[in-house]
A and B are shown apart, each in its own frame.
With several copies, the nearest count.
Chain A
């Protein structure tokens, strides 16, 4: 999951990384109060779970509590990079001498963590990597050894971090290493890492992305997710153990196997439709899972038609059919449902669905074409 800046900063602070004093606010009035408490001059920053906020105008400096209130009023009316702004972090303004970049992230190609630093902070690191790669230091961490202080010294030397900052810099590196391990992080980023006039090396921004696979040993994430304003359907799917992603279209999709479902989305798009979601019922799904999956998709008000696309290997088509019928039992079907079953017990599955509102499709392509047509015939409010 991606943490908001204010959530990440709380964890950074707990790991010993200095961060500016700040308060989370949801109204212009709260912003004014916070600014007053923080000494008047503050930064007002929108909280969205995605980067590139600064460029999109999501950060304002305010010289006074009144200024903070005005900035908050303006920002809270905005939508930034697709996210409606509903909360702001008001932080004390700190006098900055120099800015750096520091992160620890997973490098899939090398199958290990990579420590990245630059003497240019506050930049878009991908852009810098493309345009001036010599300004970036990179050190890969051998997983059998783990992060050591020499890695920090090495990346500092490559990035041109001044020697006199080496002590606190190494400390920050070891701290983000600790955060990575403790919070099962895929990305820990400090950008900018700022040297203040008073000599402290602090995290002005904080980015933290954790590994969903480790959620079973992090019950505390539950509260953070919920604070982060997760979509209610995604939350429900998570609680029900369904692999579901909410998308922006209107064609509901259910299938077995991530690759098959992704390809189903692609085929729908190819036919001119827009998928409303991704939902993988996994391998060997029982009727009950299928039932819950269909209920979830039908509860999405954006959905105007649904495609169920199953290739039976370990999964049995008759079991899927039974789940579908259970889901519809006693429920008014408000949208067209297209079903394509192939593979193990295909004939049995199809037979079960005869005479039901579920419309069969013979092939993958035909199914995609049909559901897109039905979706546009549907409520019609979202073609």
Chain B
């Protein structure tokens, strides 16, 4: 088992004809993901990396039976692409694009909820169920299958953690980057609920950062979970009012500090690692 994606997942790539879309389509296919179609208005009938291209998501879904979509559309059109996927009934929408204006994302996220679809991201690396499916831009080679569920707001930091887990022989059930933006479709609590129900996942690594209150919400949720969760928070040294790379990684009005998150997690009985290596120690000690 695993969560959200597996070898049955039928994937569309929106924005498949762009540089990023094309490159990662090849990577996803090489990993074994079932990429069944691509979408780019006006390019219907073409092929990219052996994948048929359609003019609209509705058409692509009708022709391919796709149930998931990965979006590589540039920021100005990405929120529209999310809405198009939701409108067409795509169940899982993964938006990689960084830099979508907040105003459009607020609306797109609400629309996805109203349509009953699930959005991962935006500004995320995607997700992977090792050995089955990779949706996004994660480097497939560093993952191995195992009992650890990983959920994170960042990309590269997560790869670092996964690589160190791997060095100690600890594989992942599913690894999800939920995205570094202030408005994201799926948050820690949503993923924790899924890992809690997943028989394969035995422990969860939660990698948070400054900004917002998703870690605090997660801490409250974890008190109701049966499975152990260990965590790491980045941004302890970040000053107030500065956007630290991720649009969502900002301390504003004294809220969203690393301190607040660490305290909430600690109070919920979740160990918070001081270094990356310590995360791996915490996991190993609990398995």
Within the complex, are A and B direct neighbours (CB within 8 Å)? yes
Residues of A with Cβ closer than 8 Å to B? 2, 50, 106, 108-109, 111-113, 126, 139, 142-145, 148-150, 153-154, 156-158, 163-164, 166-167, 170, 180-181, 184, 186, 211-214, 216-217, 243, 245, 247-248, 255-263, 265-270, 275, 278, 280, 283-284, 311-315, 342-344, 364-365
CB<8 Å pairs between A and B, sample of 25: A2-B241, A112-B106, A142-B87, A150-B41, A150-B87, A154-B58, A156-B55, A163-B44, A167-B42, A257-B154, A259-B158, A259-B207, A262-B249, A263-B276, A266-B235, A267-B275, A270-B236, A283-B125, A283-B156, A311-B156, A313-B139, A313-B142, A364-B276, A365-B275, A365-B277
- Residue among A170, A262, A266 with the most chain B CB within 10 A? A262
- A263, B155: Cβ atoms closer than 8 Å: no
Task: Give B74 Cβ to nearest chain A Cβ, in Å.
Answer: 9
Query: Residue on B with the closest CB to A186?
Result: B102
Tell me if B29 is interfacial: C-beta within 8 Å of chain A. Answer: no
Contacts of A275 in B (CB 8 A): 237
- A266, B75: Cβ atoms closer than 8 Å: no
- A213, B100: Cβ atoms closer than 8 Å: yes
- B106, A260: Cβ atoms closer than 8 Å: no
Which chain B residues numbered 186 to 238 have a C-beta less than 8 Å away from chain A? 207, 209-214, 217, 234-238
- B101, A311: Cβ atoms closer than 8 Å: no
- B80, A261: Cβ atoms closer than 8 Å: no
Check A212/B243 contact, CB under 8 A, given A109-B213, A154-B55, A256-B156: yes
Query: Residue on B with the closest CB to A124?
Result: B253
- B180, A314: Cβ atoms closer than 8 Å: no
Tell me if B163 is interfacial: C-beta within 8 Å of chain A. Answer: yes
Q: Pick the residue among A150, A153, A156, A265 that contacts B237 (CB under 8 A).
A: A265
- A262, B101: Cβ atoms closer than 8 Å: no
- B277, A262: Cβ atoms closer than 8 Å: no
- B246, A258: Cβ atoms closer than 8 Å: yes
- B110, A143: Cβ atoms closer than 8 Å: yes
Q: Pick the residue among B45, B125, B163 that contacts A311 (CB under 8 A).
A: B163
Contacts of A148 in B (CB 8 A): 80, 83-84
- Residue among B44, B139, B152 with the most chain A CB within 10 A? B139
Tell me if B285 is interfacial: C-beta within 8 Å of chain A. Answer: no
Query: Residue on A with the closest CB to B56?
Result: A154
Contacts of B75 in A (CB 8 A): 213, 216
In addition to A255-B156, A259-B156, A263-B234, 9 A-B residue pairs with Cβ atoms within 8 Å of each other are A153-B56, A163-B44, A166-B41, A170-B41, A211-B103, A245-B245, A248-B239, A262-B154, A283-B137
Contacts of A211 in B (CB 8 A): 101-103
Task: Give B121 Cβ to nearest chain A Cβ, in Å.
Answer: 14
Tell me if B176 is interfacial: C-beta within 8 Å of chain A. Answer: no
Tell me if B248 is interfacial: C-beta within 8 Å of chain A. Answer: yes
Check A212/B247 contact, CB under 8 A, given A143-B106, A259-B157: yes
- B243, A245: Cβ atoms closer than 8 Å: yes
User: Count of B residues near A, CB < 8 Å?
Assistant: 77
Task: Give A232 Cβ to nearest chain B Cβ, in Å.
Answer: 16
Task: Give B265 Cβ to nearest chain A Cβ, in Å.
Answer: 16
CA distance A351 to B76 in the complex (A): 41
Contacts of A181 in B (CB 8 A): 103
Task: Give B123 Cβ to nearest chain A Cβ, in Å.
Answer: 9
Task: Give A82 Cβ to nearest chain B Cβ, in Å.
Answer: 10
CA distance A201 to B239 in the complex (A): 36
Tell me if B160 is interfacial: C-beta within 8 Å of chain A. Answer: yes
CA distance A211 to B183 in the complex (A): 12
Contacts of A109 in B (CB 8 A): 212-214, 217
Residues of B with Cβ closer than 8 Å to A? 41-45, 54-59, 75-76, 80-81, 83-84, 87, 99-103, 106-107, 109-111, 114, 125, 137-139, 141-142, 152-160, 163, 180, 182-183, 207, 209-214, 217, 234-239, 241-249, 253-254, 274-277
Contacts of A50 in B (CB 8 A): 241
Contacts of B241 in A (CB 8 A): 2, 50
Q: Pick the residue among B80, B152, B156, B211 that contacts A150 (CB under 8 A).
A: B80
CA distance A312 to B217 in the complex (A): 32
Q: Pick the residue among B76, B137, B207, B253 that contacts A126 (CB under 8 A).
A: B253
Task: Give B102 Cβ to nearest chain A Cβ, in Å.
Answer: 5
- A314, B102: Cβ atoms closer than 8 Å: no
CA distance A216 to B78 in the complex (A): 14
- B209, A262: Cβ atoms closer than 8 Å: yes
- A262, B83: Cβ atoms closer than 8 Å: no
Task: Give A46 Cβ to nearest chain B Cβ, in Å.
Answer: 17
Task: Give A108 Cβ to nearest chain B Cβ, in Å.
Answer: 4
- A260, B160: Cβ atoms closer than 8 Å: yes
The 3 closest A-B pairs by CB, nearest first: A259-B154, A257-B156, A258-B245
Q: Pick the residue among B114, B156, B248, B254 that contacts A108 (CB under 8 A).
A: B248
Contacts of B275 in A (CB 8 A): 267, 270, 364-365
CA distance A154 to B42 in the complex (A): 10
